């Protein structure tokens, strides 16, 4: 069911410092910062030949990455995003298998303008999984 690894998301306490590490130390192409108020984060995307890295910085009160950054003050891998051809079909199939979808269970429009869902890390090997309709 799942297809390509769309991105690996890394939550960071200082988005500008993290962007500089990827741009200046690792020599990657980095995007501008984009606020995602719907998701409580500011994102920077890094294009790699085979996938992307999504840097996540805090945006506003009650950001979903706030507690993660409390537990991981230096930042860390926050989620993996896999592509699926049909997000509603994927959701129904996963729910039928007992997986928990976070939030109300309906897709939101993600950072790339495509529908996304998040799956409970306890059901997926301790990893928060994002599904994005390709
Ligand atoms: Co993501």
User: pLDDT tens string for the chain (134 positions)?
Assistant: 999 999 999 999 999 999 999 999 999 999 999 999 988 999 999 999 999 999 999 999 889 899 999 999 999 999 999 999 999 999 999 999 999 999 988 999 888 889 999 999 999 999 999 999 99
pLDDT the model gives residue 38: 84
Query: How many angstroms separate the alpha carbon of residue 86 from the centre of ligand 1?
Result: 17
Catalytic residues, which ones?
A: 130
d(CA 57, CA 10): 9
Nearest to 128 by CA among 101, 88, 90, 97: 101
* Cα 48 to ligand 1 centroid, rounded to whole Å: 15
The residue among 50, 11, 24 whose CA lies nearest residue 130 is 11
Instruction: Return d(Cα 131, Cα 86) in angstroms, integer.
Output: 10
Helical (H) or strand (E) element with 130? strand 129-133
Domain ranges of the chain: 5-133
pLDDT, position 13? 97
Q: Which residues of 81-114 are buried (b: 16+ CB within 10 A; e: fewer)?
A: bbbbeebeebbeebeeeebebeeeeebeebbbee
Q: What is the DSSP letter of 101?
A: B
pLDDT of res. 65: 95
Q: Ligand 1: distance of its center to the CA of 7 in Å? A: 7
- The CATH superfamily label for domain 5-133 reads 2,3-Dihydroxybiphenyl 1,2-Dioxygenase, domain 1 (3.10.180.10)
Tell me if 2 sits within 8 A of 85, measured CB to CB: no
pLDDT at residue 14 in the model: 98
Give 11 Cα–ligand 1 centroid separation in angstroms: 10
Q: State residue 111's pLDDT score.
A: 80
Residue 130 C-alpha to ligand 1 middle, in angstroms?
6
């Amino acid at each position: 069911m799942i297809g390509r690894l769309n991105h690996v998301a890394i939550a960071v306490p200082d988005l500008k410092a993290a962007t500089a590490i990827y741009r200046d130390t690792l020599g990657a192409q980095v995007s501008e910062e984009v606020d995602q108020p719907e998701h409580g984060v500011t994102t920077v995307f890094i294009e790699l030949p085979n996938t992307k890295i999504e840097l996540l910085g805090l945006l506003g009160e009650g950001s979903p990455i706030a507690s993660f950054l409390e537990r991981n003050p230096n930042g860390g891998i926050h989620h993996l995003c896999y592509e699926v051809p049909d997000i509603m079909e994927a959701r129904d199939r996963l729910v039928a298998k007992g997986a928990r979808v976070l939030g109300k269970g309906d897709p939101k429009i993600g950072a790339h303008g495509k529908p996304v869902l998040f799956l409970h890390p306890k059901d997926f090997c301790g990893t928060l999984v994002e599904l994005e309709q390709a």
